[in-house]
Amino acid sequence: MTDLAATPAPRTPPGLASSRDADLARSGFRLMNRWFMVPALRAGLGAWLNTPLGGWILLLRVRGRRSGRLRETPLNYLVADGSAWVMAGFGVRTEWYRNLLADPAVEVRLPGGALAATAVEVTDPATRARILPPLARSVGLPAFLAGINPWRDGDAAILEALRDVPLVRLDAACGSLEPGPDDPGGGAWVWRQGLVLLAALAIKRLVWRTLGPLARR
Instruction: For Cα atoms 113, 119, 122, give the angle at the middle one, nearest 5 degrees.
Output: 125
Q: Has residue 93 got a pLDDT over 80?
A: yes
* Size of the chain, expressed as the number of residues it contains: 217
Contact at 8 Å (CB) between 40 and 49?
yes
Residue 5 phi, psi dihedral angles, 5° rounding: -65, -25
Q: 58-81 pLDDT, tens per residue?
A: 999 999 999 999 999 999 999 999
Instruction: For Cα atoms 168, 173, 178, give the angle at the middle one, nearest 5 degrees.
Output: 70
- Please state, in angstroms and rounded to a whole number, the distance separating the CA atoms of residues 75 and 95: 13
Mean pLDDT, residues 12-24: 56
DSSP collapsed to 3 states, 117-182:
EEEEECCCHHHHHHHHHHHHHCCCHHHHHHCCCCCCCCHHHHHHHCCCCCEEEEEECCCCCCCCCC
- Please state, in angstroms and rounded to a whole number, the distance separating the CA atoms of residues 175 and 97: 23
pTM: 0.84
Q: What is the pLDDT of residue 15?
A: 52
C-alpha R_g of the chain: 19
Q: 30-41 pLDDT, tens per residue?
A: 787 788 899 999
Q: 151-191 pLDDT, tens per residue?
A: 999 999 999 999 999 999 999 999 999 999 999 999 999 99
Distance of CA 2 to the CA centre of its chain: 21
| Confidence at 6, pLDDT banded by 50, 70, 90 | very low
| Confidence at 10, pLDDT banded by 50, 70, 90 | very low
